[in-house]
Structures are given as structure tokens and as C-alpha cells.
Amino acid sequence: MLLTLEILGLLTMITVIFVLVWGFIILNQIFGQLRYKNYLMEKLIETIYNTSKIVPKEETASSHEADIIE
């Protein structure tokens, strides 16, 4: 009876360690993907912001004139 409990306990510990190690590996990969996604989103937002800041002066003047005429 005692031998059975020891074997059952050992199998349980091995299973828990196996699940925890794989869980850590998977979470580490998910975290890496989230960091990469965040980096890409930051670069995309930065690019959109920079391109929207650069507007030719003639285009702004003509759009204001069109607004005034209407």
C-alpha cells in the first residue's frame, strides 16, 4: 500500500512538473508575440502620425478656400 502511494505521488509530481514547464514555455512564446505585436503597432501609429503631420501648404490653403466658398 505504501509503495503504491509513493509511485502515485511520484507520477503526480512528474506530471505537474511536465505541465508547468510546458506552460512556462508556451506563455513565454505568447509574451514574445505580444511584445512583437506591440512594437509593430507602435511603429504603425508613429508612421501614420508622421505622415498626417506632413501636409503640403498649397493643399491646406485650397481646402480652406473651398470651405469658405461653400
pLDDT in tens, 15-68: 999 999 999 999 999 999 999 999 999 999 999 999 988 766 665 555 555 556
Task: Map residue 70 onto helix, strand or coil.
Answer: coil
Position 68 scores a pLDDT of 60
Backbone φ, ψ for residue 56 (5° rounding): -60, 145
Amino acid at 4: T
Q: Work out the average pLDDT over 8-13.
A: 97
Q: What is the pLDDT of residue 54?
A: 79
- The DSSP secondary structure of 2-66, one letter per residue, reads HHHHHHHHHHHHHHHHHHHHHHHHHHHHHHHHHHHHHHHHHHHHHHHHHHHH---HHHHHHHHHH
pTM above 0.75, yes or no: no
Q: What is the pLDDT of residue 8?
A: 97
